[in-house]
Structure 1
Amino acid sequence: MPNLLTMNTLRNETILNLIERAAAFENGEQLELGGTISNLFFEPSTRTKMSFEMAEHKLGIKALPFETGFSSVLKGETLYDTVKTLEAIGVDAIVVRHSEEEYYRQLEGIKLAVINGGDGSGQHPTQSLLDLYTIWQEFGRFEGIHVTISGDIAHSRVAKSNAAALAQLGAKVKFVCPPEWSGDFESSERLEDYIETTDVVMMLRVQHERHADSELLRVQHKRHAISELLTKDQYHERYGLTVELEKKMKDAAIIMHPAPINRGVEIADSLVECERSRIFKQMANGVFIRMAVLEYAMKGRD
């Protein structure tokens, strides 16, 4: 059975097939996939965990509960041995969220299907796929679509997954972040520089759990060997989507955010459910994309 670990290994054909299957499920196609799965979440999650559980329910997959706080992980059991145990008792697939980047490298030799539910600041392939599905629903294509991703790029697995996949599909991707974080992509430190020409404004959550100070965002300027602490208001003005900036967006442009949302930080509270916002549509799409991913992983459909 195929794994889904990173967007970097998915061909465009596979991505488009998964989107096509998600659309079929959203349009009412029924599938009794069966089998057993376990969701191993070593980090907190609401949307990813619950939408996987809903997708599993819709596909008739038996989900075996796994609670890290009541498992042998507390006794020092390795991730490999935990997963090997699940494989031995007959589990067909697992969904794993873990704080360690590329945790899945520990699982070489495992025969059950592994679906990455997020690895540290690395990748989040199912979030990327549901984002791509949302964009595809809106525009019917990726080629030539301008996407601006703004915020905590350095710590965002969503940004890394989406930027690579969107560029591969022909979209024009730009970052709004400190220049040290932009990698190979064009960037600016002001969202205002791109707001009038972008089709998709994708805001990122401030990853408080990956910063030393839970109330502030630390911006490390490597070139100048200094770091800067921004308050929530300062962050909102520099990298967030304000009410004033939303007024400058193209008529057909949309707003996206992977959630959870720090309202008034990444995005003004009044814009979270505005006409342009697709934030809760993204969450709904997560169920259908994850149904497609489960079919791909457990049935080998590509």
Structure 2
Amino acid sequence: MFISSRSFEPPAMHSRLRHLTTLENLPRSCIERLLDRALSMRDACAHGTRKLDLLAGRTVLNLFFEPSTRTRTSFELAARRLGADVINFDIGFSSTSKGEELFDTLHTLEAMHLDAIVVRHKVSGTPEELVRHAMSGVSVINAGDGNRAHPTQGLLDVMTIREHRPDFENLAVVICGDIKHSRVARSDVQALTAMGVREIRLCGPAPLMPTQEEFPRCTFVEDFDEAIGGADAAIMLRLQKERMSATELPDEAAYFARYGLDTRRLARAAKGCLVMHPGPINRGVEIASEVADGAQSKILEQVGNGVFVRMAVLGELLGR
């Protein structure tokens, strides 16, 4: 069943976005508008059990050059719940695997009269390149590029925090893991900074940490026991196994001993500290099962919020 878009009144719009490729320099007012829209859509579609027809007649293309079941499925659900047509472009069988240039592919797809392209690519800056080379009015949404940005992940993370701790100015948030190679960490820092979080602490093995110059507003803490002390939210990052060799730690068990979130470390955090992870988690590496499945874990809530945040982004970019 579809609900007419006339029965859904989105929040007031100002300086409407055309694309979403990064959260860098996005003002708090814009982020809050997207979060408010996500909540409104969650209510309007009864937590996903009913469809809206806000984007009926629109076409959204998922263009993923990297595998990502979770993010692609989330974008697909978001678009379909808004009534849009969705195309999943299989790169493995596309002409790009035969040497066709990325921008030739873009123009070919534009000729099919798409309204939005959701792109994930291993090369940082690819979404902006698509924006610069697009010849139509197609909107570009970044679903993750290299180690640079994952804006909808940043939005869903601050949405999750805001639902439990809206007093951002009083919060201390710790992000732990492979910060250096994490597009999630960068988008989270941008979103948290825009929302006015009091303190953002970054923690991880030295070879997996960025430079202080890249994150001038963050506090770098080498010891995780110290970093999580009094924290109101802990965002644990997935460790890619191929990165382990770059650290001084011999194996995943050693990593967990130094940087894993277990019940002992969680007890050092502030009461009710939110436990978060972009997923998929490595149990016993970044986080203990009893913490991932515990009362303070918001990991599955993040997954659910991801659909509504992506509905909000699509609604802002494509809504009539």
2:115 is the counterpart of 1:115: no
2:302 is the counterpart of 1:282: yes
- Superposition deviation, residue 44 in structure 1: 1.2
- Superposition deviation, residue 47 in structure 1: 1.6
- 2:14 alignment counterpart: none
Q: Deviations over 1:98-139 (max 9, x none)?
A: 110111243213131000000011100000100010011111
> Any conservation in 1 of the 2:177–2:239 contact (CA below 8 Å)?
yes
> Any conservation in 1 of the 2:41–2:308 contact (CA below 8 Å)?
yes
Question: Secondary structure at 2:297's aligned position in 1?
Answer: coil
- 1:196 alignment counterpart: 229
- 2:87 alignment counterpart: 64
TM-score by length of 1: 0.90
- Superposition deviation, residue 31 in structure 1: 4.3
How many correspondences in the alignment? 287
- The code of the aligned residue for 2:186 comes to K
Q: Deviations over 1:2-55 (max 9, x none)?
A: 110011042211100000001111112544312001101111112211111110
- 2:125 alignment counterpart: 102
> Any conservation in 1 of the 2:204–2:222 contact (CA below 8 Å)?
yes
Distance 1:166 1:283 in 2: 18
Structure with more contact order per residue of length (Cα contacts < 8 Å, sep ≥ 6): 1
2:152 is the counterpart of 1:152: no
> Any conservation in 2 of the 1:153–1:182 contact (CA below 8 Å)?
no
- The code of the aligned residue for 2:187 comes to S
> Any conservation in 1 of the 2:127–2:141 contact (CA below 8 Å)?
no
2:196 is the counterpart of 1:170: yes
Distance 1:94 1:208 in 2: 31
User: Where do 1:134-149 residues align within 5 Å?
Assistant: 134-149=160-175
Cα 1:255–1:10 change in 2 (3 A) is same
Runs (5+) with no aligned partner, structure 2: 1-16, 46-51
2:282 is the counterpart of 1:262: yes
Cα 1:113–1:208 change in 2 (3 A) is farther
Cα 1:127–1:217 change in 2 (3 A) is farther
Distance 2:184 2:22 in 1: 11
Distance 1:139 1:105 in 2: 33
> Any conservation in 2 of the 1:130–1:285 contact (CA below 8 Å)?
yes
Q: Deviations over 1:199-244 (max 9, x none)?
A: 00110001336x3xxxx3523xxxxxxxx34410111111111221
Question: Secondary structure at 1:250's aligned position in 2?
Answer: coil
- Superposition deviation, residue 60 in structure 1: 0.6
- The code of the aligned residue for 2:103 comes to Y
Considering only aligned residues, what root-mean-square deviation do their CA atoms show, in Å?
1.6
Question: Secondary structure at 1:17's aligned position in 2?
Answer: helix
> Any conservation in 1 of the 2:230–2:268 contact (CA below 8 Å)?
no
Distance 1:192 1:104 in 2: 38
Distance 1:149 1:164 in 2: 13
Distance 2:200 2:110 in 1: 40
- Superposition deviation, residue 81 in structure 1: 1.4
> Any conservation in 2 of the 1:175–1:182 contact (CA below 8 Å)?
no
> Any conservation in 2 of the 1:96–1:114 contact (CA below 8 Å)?
yes
- Superposition deviation, residue 144 in structure 1: 2.3
- Superposition deviation, residue 293 in structure 1: 0.6
> Any conservation in 2 of the 1:256–1:278 contact (CA below 8 Å)?
yes
2:18 is the counterpart of 1:2: yes
TM-score by length of 2: 0.85
User: Where do 1:34-73 residues align within 5 Å?
Assistant: 34=56, 35-73=58-96
- The code of the aligned residue for 1:207 comes to Q
Cα 1:176–1:237 change in 2 (3 A) is same
Distance 1:139 1:247 in 2: 18
- 1:225 alignment counterpart: none
Question: Secondary structure at 2:169's aligned position in 1?
Answer: coil
Distance 1:43 1:270 in 2: 31
Runs (5+) with no aligned partner, structure 1: 220-227
2:232 is the counterpart of 1:235: no
Identity among equivalent positions (%) equals: 41
- 2:238 alignment counterpart: 205
- The code of the aligned residue for 2:113 comes to G
Question: Secondary structure at 2:168's aligned position in 1?
Answer: coil
- Superposition deviation, residue 146 in structure 1: 0.9
